[in-house]
């Protein structure tokens, strides 16, 4: 199930990510994806536990009159490494908006790299599942992968 261990170490998903990379060989640039994945595993988390949502996705954000009005669905929230919530930078933002997001939150390099790893892991798993099922890559996850690989 996608969603276990949010806020914990990203290394929890290493085996799953590497299996997904094998499944996606010849479909996406798995060499570059593996390089980015390994880079996201390196930066340590300082261990300072903070609240995280764990599933910031379009369906969990309510907008009114063009502004964020609420965040819902706290089923995966907890206390731990907040990097898991940074996946939104690649799943919902691009280019200048991603840069503005990072600048506004004042995210340090190690946390940013782990956040990118969270986004990469989920995109790899979803795309690999589609390949195993003989389906086309889902457009949203394929776009996330493209954003991550382009910005490496």
Lowest mean pLDDT among 47-51, 81-85, 95-99: 47-51
Which has the closest alpha carbon to 54: 80, 17, 89, 36?
A: 80
On the question of pLDDT at 1 being above 70, the answer is no
Which has the closest alpha carbon to 88: 28, 49, 68?
A: 68
Instruction: Report pLDDT for 68.
Output: 85
List CB contacts of 136: < 8 A, sequence separation 6 or more: 130
Q: What is the mean pLDDT of residues 73-78?
A: 80
């Amino acid at each position: 199930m996608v969603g276990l261990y949010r806020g914990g170490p990203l290394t929890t998903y290493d085996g799953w990510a590497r299996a997904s990379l094998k499944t996606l060989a010849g479909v996406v640039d798995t060499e570059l994806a593996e390089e980015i994945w390994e880079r996201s595993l390196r930066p340590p988390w300082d261990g300072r536990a903070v609240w995280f949502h764990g599933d910031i996705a379009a369906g969990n954000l309510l907008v009114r009159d063009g502004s964020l009005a609420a965040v819902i669905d706290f089923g995966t929230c907890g206390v731990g490494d907040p990097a898991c919530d940074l996946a939104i930078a690649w799943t919902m933002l691009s280019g200048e908006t991603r840069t503005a997001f990072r600048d506004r939150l004042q995210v340090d390099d190690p946390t940013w790299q782990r956040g990118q790893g969270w986004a990469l892991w989920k995109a790899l798993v979803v795309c690999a599942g589609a390949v195993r099922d003989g389906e086309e890559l889902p457009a949203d996850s394929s776009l996330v992968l493209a954003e991550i690989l382009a910005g490496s």
